[in-house]
Amino acid sequence: MTALTGLTIAEAARGLAAKSFSARELAEAHLDAIAAARDLNAFICETPDVALDRADAADARRAAGGALGPLDGIPIAVKDLFCTEGVPTTAGSHILNGFVPPYESTVTANLRQAGAVMLGKANLDEFAMGSANITSHYGPVKNPWGPRDGRDLVPGGSSGGSAAAVSARLALGATGTDTGGSIRQPASFCGIVGLKPTYGRCSRYGIIAFASSLDQAGPMTRTVGDAALMLAAMAGHDARDSTSAPLAVPDFAAALDGSLRGLKIGIPKEYRIDGMAAEIGALWDKGMAWLEAAGAEVKAVSLPHTRYALATYYIIAPAEASSNLARYDGVRYGLRVDGATLDEMYMNTRGQGFGTEVRRRVLIGTYVLSAGYYDAYYLKAQKVRALIAADFREAFREVDVILTPTAPSDAFAIGERMDDPVTMYLNDVFTVPTSLAGLPGISVPAGLSARGLPLGLQLIGRPFDELTVLKAARAIEDAAGFPAGPPTP
Ligand code: GLN
């Protein structure tokens, strides 16, 4: 059944339409692949019954000749940060132990409405905090491109299970969420496409909150065309999220092809950071040449406040997280660890329910929001955030899209970089500014490192201009000729 799991979403949709195979066969092929690859730990919860029910329903709709959704019968993985009605949702945390949401997130409801078939809930960093999928209560995920030198590699994070599942052909696509890079960086590490839409393009309703002014859902797929298809199904205005944009969703996939003639590509000089691996710089140069060959014009731009972006993000994101995570107190749902008093119950529950990284962020967030430090840290960070966004606005007067590397390295080994959180935070150096500015960004697989591991390039666009980002990404995809998957799927 390898043939069915190796299809793109577009190919699978055509195969279903031609009745070359059924949605049930497609779902079964993926469920078998998931069962054979449990060693990757890509899923926290497999949902074969849900998958087969929805696949059968898709087959019945098709047989009846009724209306079909754009993803009818397409099997996908769902990051376990999206609430799914009747299916356990953990956020990768012990504190949500036993939580079964009584409602469905808007994004997963939209996907279901489009006919997509959920295979299971993908592993992630606890509450989406991390860059390596090593903070999950359910254990680390292995990158399907590993091991190297006898060591298993991280898939990136926080959407590490989603990225590993799509890369290893366990799902045709997956949902991810990105607060500071969590779709784009794992996509880069696993050799797949990951798109963080503009803040507001997808509803946040029913996505377990990390940092609400940054969180955004997006698709993770094996091709740019599939990302366009999946985004169209996920996106749209939702009255239940006041930050969701009341804008029509374009038919991204229909407008992907065509020349890049006249398109201006910006290269921010501040992204050539000290200590960046030479091979990352070389790949970036190649990306420029590919876009030029496709008809675009490449020019230098300046984003002068870039160097403050990481520090700004690591104040704002923990501040919002400390506030969002205050709700996990052992009272209404999830874990409860009893104590002699109410306060003791709170302390026991939160002390045992949250892992080290989450506790660190709650502490930092509480500190930067506390009286006496608020102005010095949180307020200052908000001001710098405005300057970072203004840098992008200025640059987008001159150019239509910005090209950068996605991450400063290829995938590292599980266990590496764990002793120093700041080294781990450096993974986000190229992705965080886009998030702070609320802009769309995509990572597209562009080449292999000297160790034979995937490397991605990032394209950043104007607000709600995912289409131009996708078009430029398609040009890189065409030129890069990136291998279709890991050597040993
Ligand atoms: N790696 C970043 C962090 O740890 C980004 C996470 C994310 O985008 N969810 O916060």
H or E element, residue 384? helix 380-398
Tokens representing residue 115 in the block: 């006919």
Task: Compute the Cα dihedral for 129, 133, 135, 138 and give only its sign.
Answer: positive
Tokens representing residue 279 in the block: 């091979």
Closest CA to 470 of 206, 197, 275: 197
132 CA to middle of ligand 1, Å?
9
Closest CA to 135 of 122, 147, 124: 124
DSSP annotation of 132: S
Q: What is the pLDDT of residues 256-315, one digit of tens each?
A: 988 899 999 999 999 998 878 899 999 999 999 999 999 999 999 999 999 999 999 999
Q: What is the pLDDT of residues 331-353, one digit of tens each?
A: 999 999 999 999 999 999 999 99
Backbone angles phi, psi at 358, to 5 degrees: -65, -40
189 CA to middle of ligand 1, Å?
15
Q: Ligand 1 pocket check: which of 80, 127, 129 to mutate, most ligand atoms within 8 Å of Cβ?
A: 129
Domain ranges for the chain, please list them.
2-248+256-262
- Alpha-carbon span 231 to 252, nearest angstrom: 8
- Alpha-carbon span 191 to 482, nearest angstrom: 8
Decide if pLDDT at 1 tops 50. Answer: no
Q: Does 179 sit in the ligand 1 pocket, CB within 6 Å?
A: yes
Tokens representing residue 12 in the block: 């699978």
DSSP state letters, 142-168: PPTT--BTTB-B---SSSHHHHHHHHT
Of ligand 1's atoms, which has the minimum distance to the CA of residue 185? 1
Active site residue 79: yes
Q: Does 135 sit in the ligand 1 pocket, CB within 6 Å?
A: no
Q: Does 364 sit in the ligand 1 pocket, CB within 6 Å?
A: no
Q: Which pLDDT does position 63 carry in this prediction?
A: 97
Q: What is the pLDDT of residues 348-397, one digit of tens each?
A: 999 999 999 999 999 999 999 999 999 999 999 999 999 999 999 999 99
Active site residue 22: no
Q: What is the mean pLDDT of the chain?
A: 96
Q: Does 107 sit in the ligand 1 pocket, CB within 6 Å?
A: no
Q: What is the pLDDT of residues 134-177, one digit of tens each?
A: 999 999 999 999 999 999 999 999 999 999 999 999 999 999 99
Q: Does 131 sit in the ligand 1 pocket, CB within 6 Å?
A: yes
Of ligand 1's atoms, which has the minimum distance to the CA of residue 314? 10
How large is the average pLDDT for residues 456-469?
Answer: 98
Residue 426 banded pLDDT, cuts 50, 70, 90: confident
Q: Does 357 sit in the ligand 1 pocket, CB within 6 Å?
A: no
Give the 3-state secondary structure of 408-447: CCCCCECCCCCCCHHHHHHHHCCCHHHHHHCCCEEEEEEE
- Alpha-carbon span 128 to 121, nearest angstrom: 14
Q: What is the pLDDT of residues 89-110, one digit of tens each?
A: 999 999 999 999 999 999 999 9
Cβ–Cβ under 8 Å, residues 80 and 141? no
183 CA to middle of ligand 1, Å?
9
Decide if pLDDT at 2 tops 50. Answer: no
CATH superfamily, domain 2-248+256-262, is Amidase signature (AS) domain (3.90.1300.10)
Q: Which pLDDT does position 488 carry in this prediction?
A: 55
Residue 489 banded pLDDT, cuts 50, 70, 90: very low
Q: What is the CA radius of gyration of the chain?
A: 21
